Amino acid sequence: MENCKNDGKTMVEEPLLESAAPVKGGFRTLPFIIGTEALEKMATFGLSPNMTLYLMNDYHMEMTTASNVLFMWSAATNFMPLIGAFIADSFLGRFHTIGFGSIICLMGIILLWSTTIIPHARPPPCDQSSNICSPPTMFQFLYLCMSFGLISIGAGGIRSSSLAFGADQLEKRGFHKNPGVKQSYFGWYYASYTLSVLFALTCVVYIQDNLGWGVGFAVPAVLMLSAVTSFFLASPFYVRFKSSSSLITGFVQVAVASYNNRHLKLSDSTSCLYHCKNGSGHVFPSEKLRFLNKACIVRDAQKELASDGRAINPWRLCTVEQVEELKVLLRVVPIWSSGMIMSINLSQSTFPVLQAVSMDRHITSSFEIPAASFSMFVVIAVILWVALYDRVYIPLASRLMGRPVRLSTRRRMGIGIFLSFLAMIVSAMVEAIRRSLAINQGALNHPQAVVSMSALWLVPQNFLTGFAEAANAIAQNEFYFSEFPRSMSSIASTLLGIGMCLANLLASFIMNTVDYLSKEGGNESWISSNINKGHYDYYYLVLAGLSMANMFYFLTMINICSP
């Protein structure tokens, strides 16, 4: 016999405002919510592209040190939305999480900007006569890391809740029941993201290159100040929901409860008493990953359940729903992990900037593309992929086949992984040609010398990277949302970011390993600060080899983890 009383944890959000209060929410709040995250992305994405040059030129860091700092910063920025989602769901609520996050992010950007105007906040300029450069002191390095940390924490608070907070405004007014409204909302949200990144990679980077770091870092600070102002300006019109128990907490509770009940013996499901919600479709847990089923077995209903059906100790007794949600998460982890190698390839932003600096970036005799702006071709490729896939491939294939045609999420993920492999091969080929020209033109000991090779040769690898990201990342999100129940939508929206966080840590490990092994025997490191003495082409081939291995891993996991 099964127990299906209401456990008291149904996640029904209740508005903080009384019913007699004026009607709030709706479309009028969306420009402020979407605009806040758009401005935050303009600010943070405007800082990151040129940061390699800032750390190497003004902080006198070696290329590997600067790359490690940026890998850690990117990893923290991608991980913080998970922490922000937990805090928003369990404690603060989405409004306060976004509000505090925007203020903290502003503080971090102001601190970073201050390093450009306070002489003692960064190392002194190099001695031109002796060519001696002083490294940053411990205080200067910690000051820099503090600014990065505050930016990551603040950005995590904003990104973890903005999408869901905007959906809250539509849900309160009943607009979420209209599929067209929901599609339009997500479309505008994605469009704001794309335009923000393009603005950051073009306008903000151009200002930094032509007006210096002081003005170039002040612009993101002004953008972030505008984000804070716009968000709080509309605060009287927002619908705010109470925080509730977090799924992340539920996952931990299942793990702890199954461990605490590890001595229980599992028998046939119908002979056990399981704890489930009233009216739940999950009366019995599934047979897969059966060891987790011990978390929801009721041994003594009198001692373990309260009068309203709730578990007295949720760390020893969980619901069937909680157990099944964790099982779904564990089932997609192998496929999710296959996207990390592709994210490692995407995170290689340091090396293309150094390549672009050493190449001819002129479009006309008077205008040249900033080195850090070549990342915009990745974004343009993402836009092209989405437009061509939705507006050209789908209609054309459907017309030819005489039926609706759409590539499955798994197939698109596989295409993205393959294109990422091709991007690394092309990157290695272009770098081999660039390095050969640099040596032939006598630039071996002059890494800042410009070789007679157009930087537009970097565009194909950027386009391949953009196509790979669009195919794989969009398919990943669709895959998670299709596999997870609605109650796990917040987890589905953060999985891609968590993968990118771990990918940045792995990228740092791979880079340091290659640096260590290639320097053995007194040889020049493949990823030397002098790009002409190093062998970045070999490094790209290492990434290409890992990408090839990852393709076989992905195909294996697809077969194993198929329902």
pLDDT band at 365 (very low <50, low <70, confident <90, very high): confident
Across 327-336, 337-346, 491-500, least confident range: 491-500
Q: Residue 287: which pLDDT band, with cuts at 50, 70 and 90? A: confident
Q: So what's the pLDDT on residue 490? A: 65
Query: In this predicted model, what pLDDT tens digit does every residue of 11-42 receive, in sequence order?
Result: 344 444 444 445 677 778 888 888 888 899 89
Mean pLDDT of 325-338: 88
Q: Is the pLDDT of residue 184 over 80?
A: no
Asked whether 261 and 275 are in contact (CB, 8 A), the reply is no
The answer on pLDDT for 77 being more than 60 is: yes
Average pLDDT over residues 113-128: 88
| Residues in Cβ contact with 32 at an 8 Å cutoff, skipping those fewer than 6 apart | 230, 231, 233, 234
SS3 content of the chain, % helix, strand, coil (to 5): 70, 5, 25
| pLDDT at residue 277 greater than cutoff 80 | no
pLDDT of the residue at 173: 58
**pLDDT for 258 beyond 60:** yes
Query: Which of the two residues, 402 and 455, has the higher pLDDT score?
Result: 455
- With contact defined as beta carbons under 8 Å apart, do 271 and 1 qualify? no
With a cut of 80, say whether residue 280 has pLDDT above it. Answer: no
pLDDT confidence band for 544 (50 / 70 / 90) = very high
Report which of 547, 298, 288 is spatially closest to residue 421, judged by C-alpha positions. 547
* pLDDT beyond 80 at 447: no
The pLDDT-based confidence of 245 (bands split at 50, 70, 90) is: low
**pLDDT at 15 (0 to 100):** 44
The residues facing 275 across adjacent strands are: 3
How many C-beta atoms surround the C-beta of residue 509 within 10 A?
A: 13
Instruction: Identify the pLDDT of residue 396.
Output: 87
Q: Which conformational region is residue 288 in: left (phi greater than 0), alpha (psi within -120 to 50 degrees), or beta? A: beta
**Mean pLDDT computed over every residue of the chain:** 83
Q: How would residue 222 be classed by pLDDT, with cut points 50, 70 and 90?
A: very high
Residue 313's pLDDT is what? Answer: 86
What ranges make up the beta strands (E) of 418-494?
451-454
DSSP string, 340-401: HHHHHHHT--HHHHHHHHTEE-BSSSS-B--GGGGGHHHHHHHHHHHHHIIIIIHHHHHHHH
Mean pLDDT, to the nearest integer, of 279-286? 67
pLDDT at residue 183, as a whole number: 53
Q: What pLDDT sits at residue 2?
A: 45
**In the predicted structure, residue 4 carries a pLDDT above the cut 80:** no
Question: In the predicted model, is pLDDT for residue 174 greater than 70?
Answer: no
Matching residue, tokens 């925080």: 243
Closest to 494 measured CA to CA, from 266, 329, 372, 350 = 329
**282-291, long-range: CB within 8 Å, 24+ apart, which pairs?**
282/320, 282/321, 282/324, 283/2, 283/4, 283/320, 284/2, 284/320, 285/320, 285/323, 285/324, 285/327, 286/324, 286/327, 288/327, 288/331, 289/327, 289/330, 290/266, 291/258, 291/262, 291/266
One-letter amino acid at 216 equals G
